[in-house]
Amino acid sequence: MKSAIKLRVLFCLAAIFACAAQTVESQATNSSPGKSVQKSKAPVLVELFTSEGCPNCPPAERTLAFLDKEQPYSQAEIITLALHVDYWNNRGWRDEYSSPLFTQRQAVYAQRLKLDSAYTPQMIVDGQIQFLGSDSGKAAKAIADAAKFPKANIETSLSNENILQIKISAIPKHKDSTVFLAIAEDKLKSNVKSGENAGKTIEHLSVVRELKPLAKIEAAANVFEQETAISLQPEWKAENIKLIVFVQENESRKVWAISKTQMP
């Protein structure tokens, strides 16, 4: 019975995203190991603020995984990040992937989007649209709408010495912005032993291990190049690591360039 219910849920999700995909028009990136090259799809950044201590977060993480793995749009590439906040850690379970940095990032969004407070699970698309992370219908519409807006061409390549080269061109009109690098890991799993998700095994995807600003891009700039060294911690599995570079306006939080590169 449970398997049948899961299959029906997946079919419903696929139908929702397939309908929304018909409205998507634009350009985007596609990724391959060690290199990201601009192609015909429109890249869209989907951030999920989540926590292993939050009882409503596992369904949202499954939605994020569906978006990332199934890529239900023919015209959009969905690039996902799961940012684990730390304000659930005092409720019986400490999320090992949580960081006060991610809590702070969510607080900035809450202020910019004029929300009364931050919450989990919260999904944010291209830094502009927010909604409950498990709401597949709103996710479909937000991603379709975001894919219509032009983004800069961004290419990344990773050398054998783990030097990431970033080239951005055809930059659209923008205000002062910041280039970010997110190191994210797939195929993580936690057996939650206490708190509100006690007894559950939670599978994670796109868990942000590190998020850092690389450089600033001034409003007058129309091209950008930079190299940065990639350093992984011993406990991170390189074969599951992806490098996501994105550019975000400082004031509006609008994302106007995104690229994903898999570790070779």
Bridge partners of 74? none
The helix-helix angle for 57-70 and 136-146 (nearest 10°) equals 40
Condensed to tens digits (0 to 9), the pLDDT of residues 144-187 reads 999 999 899 999 999 999 999 999 999 989 999 999 999 999 99
- Could you tell me the pLDDT band of residue 264, with boundaries at 50, 70 and 90? confident
Amino acid in position 66: F
pTM attached to this predicted model: 0.86
Tell me the C-alpha distance between 66 and 60, whole Å: 10
Rg (CA), the chain: 18
Condensed to tens digits (0 to 9), the pLDDT of residues 188-223 reads 999 999 999 999 999 999 999 999 999 999 999 989
Nearest to 212 by CA among 164, 264, 149, 174: 164
The helix-helix angle for 136-146 and 2-21 (nearest 10°) equals 30
Separation in Å, CA 191 to CA 10, 55, 156, 208: 24, 14, 35, 19
- Superfamily of domain 2-262 in CATH is Glutaredoxin (3.40.30.10)
